[in-house]
Amino acid sequence: MTVVLLAGTMLAPTAFAQDNAARRDPPAAPTVTTTAQPSTEAIVPDPEFNAALPSLSGDINAPLEPMSAFDTSKAATQQPAPLPAPAPQPTVPVNEAQQPAETLPEAPELAQPLTPLSSFDVTPVEVAGVDDKRAVEIRYETVVKGLEKIDDTGQFKALSALQEGDGKAANAAMVQARAKEDEQLAVRIMRAKGYYDGTATSAIEQPPGQRLRAVVTAVPGRQFTLGSIRIDTQPTVPQGLVDKELPLKVGDAIDAERIQAAEANVSLKLPQQGYPFVEVGQRDILLDDTTVTGAYTLPVTTGPRSSFGTYSTTGKLAFDAEHVGVLARFKQGELYDNRKVDDLRAALVATGLFSGVSVEPQRTGQIAADGTEAVNLLVKQDAGPARTLAGEAGYGTGQGIRLEGSWTHRNLFPAEGALIVRGVAGTQEQGAGVTFRRSNAGQRDRTFQILANASRTNYDAFEAFTGTLGIRWSYDSTPIWQKRFTYAYGAELIGTNEDTYDFDVAARRRKTYGIAALPLFAGFDTSDNLLNPTKGFRVKLNVSPEAAVQGAVRPYGRFMLEGTAYYPFGESIVIAGRARAGSIQGIARDDLAPSRRYYAGGGGSVRGFGFQELGPRTPEVDEDGNNLNRPIGGRSLNEFALEARYRFGNFGIVPFIDAGQVYESSLPKGSDLRFGAGIGGRFYTNFGPMRVDVATPIARRPGESKIALYISIGQAF
């Protein structure tokens, strides 16, 4: 017998057996009966019938005879012609029990007229203190027997009509109906697991002194297994590819879920190995009751082995097919891999230029030298709005409130040439800037930028009015494609007017600096996630050869090395650590613009201290003789941090301890380290964790913050 596996269930072999039995036993001969034919003799002769009809006027327009003229007495006395006597019937003896009952006289009440409906009171009767819903509701409990070892995933509980009723019903008949539905559910579950002889029954019980009980009892019987496996398909390269990707073997249970998953694996894996047009046909399973096995047959049409060819676009275009090729991570002639097509689709979506976009392989019939057929990728585009408004907000002790907004036209200069206008408003920072940015500039995730910014910053360490012109190329990691190696390089021209403490005159005065810089960056990343890493490590190196012009030209170099590591303990805890060291070589601290010096303290540095609070301080006093103790910055720093990130669901708790210090020397010394400790909360979203950290300095000194609060998006490191 042939049994087809569909939608997680299989047909029972008994149905086929019953059908065969019906074919072997022919139906019984039909019963023939006869009936008496009616008499053809006329009941009333035609002449007599026509004579009895009243005469009619031949004028169709003549008025009708008035009703009063009709002689009712004559009509009443006129008798119809006698009918012929019926044929004699055989006498049948009548039993006394069959005699008709004596007709009773009509009761006088029945002759009275009915009471008008309008006189009835139709207002429903209300009983005080009785809840109608509770009055008709009964409670029951569900008991399932026989499925314990079969339904390990709880399918019955998830789909049960009895369970869905939550133990409540209007009456016992409703409970019985639900139990009957669950009988069929139990049978379907057993057959889906290979128990084709399985049966199920239900019963409603009322134990003394207990609530109603609905009992569903399943008897699985024997489990059928795969006796043979045959795949009807074309030859593949490498040979036996379909057999390899169909994870079934003889002796496996005929489990619908597992078989469907195995077939889905073929549909998934073959397009990753050069077969984009594979089609998995309808399986056929022939069951054998004597051996309790099934012969499994699966037709698979692989289609041609293919390689990547050309690109084409259609629809409302954001950019042409040539730029599509820039986003692809494969080359023409490379063996087709559906995962790389999915990556291309994700990269197209990440540009933010589409309301909808799809990538579909198209056959071309062109055979390459290696025997593969070239595939054209058809990109269907639906360009969306290219303009966006964005904003972000943050707060840090010592840094105050900071609001930033931007307007972006992402495709003002196709392809992906964006114009960005940016503004910053805060308690201690204000500014505006314009940036031209070309994303995926000749290479995927390579960005080219030209920027112009003007800003005012007012911190305890310095106040500055700064203008910047810059150009930058970078190769960056993204959530779609996190890279091991990243880099950036560029050039900057900076003009800044800043107030600084002059130790020669023991007072603050303003100075103007001109700075030329060639910033360089290199990074190496083995972590598992860009925004919320749980394992791996990262190393970052910043080098910036610079020259300061303030009366004379003073060349120098700025260096910063940072490393972070992440180590998981179980599934809920991650230990994260960070170390950073910086150095400025070739220039004295007092000849360096205050904004180019190193500072420590704050949410992205040493928590527990205010922004830029650590390091050397000025000896200046105010007009009242109070020591201001303003930070002055230094030429070197070191920082350390250790966190225990405990996550439960979408929330997390992070105790941490940080350490660091800023030094006047060009190399960090490691002495006089300051420590801060605290605890943070995390709310994990699909775009990264929301962070709230509260910290306090250890061995706090006069003038330092007692409590520091930091709110931002993303982990501290």
What does the pLDDT read at residue 62? 56
Residue 52 lies in a domain: no
Lowest mean pLDDT among 90-94, 111-115, 166-170, 383-387: 90-94
Closest CA to 253 of 197, 311, 179, 191: 191
Residue 29 lies in a domain: no
Residue 336 lies in a domain: yes
Chain centre distance of CA 688: 16
Angle (CA) 194-198-200 rounded to 5° is 135
What does the pLDDT read at residue 64? 58
Residues 6+ apart with CB under 8 A from 241: 270, 273, 275, 302
Q: Are 318 and 351 in contact (CB under 8 A)?
A: yes
Q: Hunting for tokens 């297994």 — which residue is that?
A: 225
* Measured distance CA(528)–CA(438) in Å, rounded: 28
Q: pLDDT by residue (tens digit) across 275-290?
A: 999 999 999 999 999 9
Checking if the pLDDT of 623 tops 50, the result is yes
Average pLDDT, the chain: 84
Closest CA to 607 of 712, 530, 516: 712
- 264: its two tokens: 């889905």
Checking if the pLDDT of 81 tops 80, the result is no
Q: Hunting for tokens 């120098």 — which residue is that?
A: 556
What does the pLDDT read at residue 58? 57
Do 565 and 695 sit in the same domain of this protein? yes
Q: pLDDT by residue (tens digit) across 643-685?
A: 999 999 999 999 999 999 999 999 998 888 999 999 999 999 8
What total of structural domains would you count in the chain?
Answer: 4
pLDDT band at 398 (very low <50, low <70, confident <90, very high): low
What does the pLDDT read at residue 451? 96
pTM for this prediction: 0.71
Residues 6+ apart with CB under 8 A from 711: 394, 395, 396, 691, 692, 693
Dihedral angle, C-alpha 596, 600, 602, 605, nearest 10 °:
100
**What mean pLDDT comes out for the span 371-378?**
95
**Which comes out higher in pLDDT, residue 42 or 381?**
381
Do 357 and 444 sit in the same domain of this protein? no
Q: CATH number of the domain at 632, please.
A: 2.40.160.50
**What mean pLDDT comes out for the span 97-109?**
51
Checking if the pLDDT of 15 tops 50, the result is no
Do 297 and 359 sit in the same domain of this protein? no
Strands (E), 317-416: 354-367, 373-383, 387-396, 400-413
In the chain, pLDDT over 70 holds for what percent of residues?
81
What does the pLDDT read at residue 688? 80
Do 368 and 398 sit in the same domain of this protein? no
What does the pLDDT read at residue 65? 60
Burial of 458 (0-12, 13-18, 19+ CB in 10 A): middle
Q: Are 191 and 12 in contact (CB under 8 A)?
A: yes
Quote the longest CA-to-CA distance of the chain: 152
**What mean pLDDT comes out for the span 357-375?**
94
Do 527 and 560 sit in the same domain of this protein? yes
Do 428 and 337 sit in the same domain of this protein? no
The single-letter code of the amino acid at 680 is G
Which run of H or of E encompasses 19? helix 13-24
Residues 6+ apart with CB under 8 A from 608: 658, 675, 676, 677, 678, 695, 696, 697, 698, 705, 708
What does the pLDDT read at residue 509? 86
Do 185 and 212 sit in the same domain of this protein? yes
What does the pLDDT read at residue 118? 58
In the chain, pLDDT over 90 holds for what percent of residues?
62
Length of the chain: 717
Burial of 239 (0-12, 13-18, 19+ CB in 10 A): exposed
Residue 602 lies in a domain: yes
Do 324 and 247 sit in the same domain of this protein? no
What does the pLDDT read at residue 107? 60
- 92: its two tokens: 């049948």
* Measured distance CA(4)–CA(11) in Å, rounded: 7
Do 605 and 460 sit in the same domain of this protein? yes
Chain centre distance of CA 587: 55
pLDDT band at 44 (very low <50, low <70, confident <90, very high): low
Do 500 and 413 sit in the same domain of this protein? yes
Of 335, 358, 383, the position where a domain reaches its end is 383
Q: pLDDT by residue (tens digit) across 191-239?
A: 999 999 999 999 999 888 888 999 999 999 999 999 999 999 999 999 9
Residues 6+ apart with CB under 8 A from 659: 606, 639, 640, 641, 673, 674, 675, 676
Torsions phi, psi of 118, nearest 5? -65, -15
Range of the domain at 150: 135-219
Of 219, 242, 274, the position where a domain reaches its end is 219
Residue 685 lies in a domain: yes
Residues 6+ apart with CB under 8 A from 158: none
Do 392 and 377 sit in the same domain of this protein? no
Torsions phi, psi of 408, nearest 5? -130, 130
Q: CATH number of the domain at 253, please.
A: 3.10.20.310
Checking if the pLDDT of 471 tops 80, the result is yes
Q: Are 194 and 251 in contact (CB under 8 A)?
A: no
* Measured distance CA(304)–CA(270) in Å, rounded: 11
Residue 511 lies in a domain: yes
pLDDT band at 687 (very low <50, low <70, confident <90, very high): confident
Q: CATH number of the domain at 153, please.
A: 3.10.20
Residue 648 lies in a domain: yes
Do 458 and 604 sit in the same domain of this protein? yes
What does the pLDDT read at residue 1? 42
**Which comes out higher in pLDDT, residue 620 or 519?**
519
Residue 316 lies in a domain: yes
Which run of H or of E encompasses 219? strand 212-219
Of 219, 240, 273, the position where a domain reaches its end is 219
What does the pLDDT read at residue 106? 58
Highest mean pLDDT among 36-40, 47-51, 138-142, 468-472: 468-472
Q: Hunting for tokens 């439960």 — which residue is that?
A: 648
* Measured distance CA(447)–CA(452) in Å, rounded: 16
Q: pLDDT by residue (tens digit) across 560-613?
A: 999 999 999 988 999 999 999 999 999 999 889 999 999 999 888 999 988 888
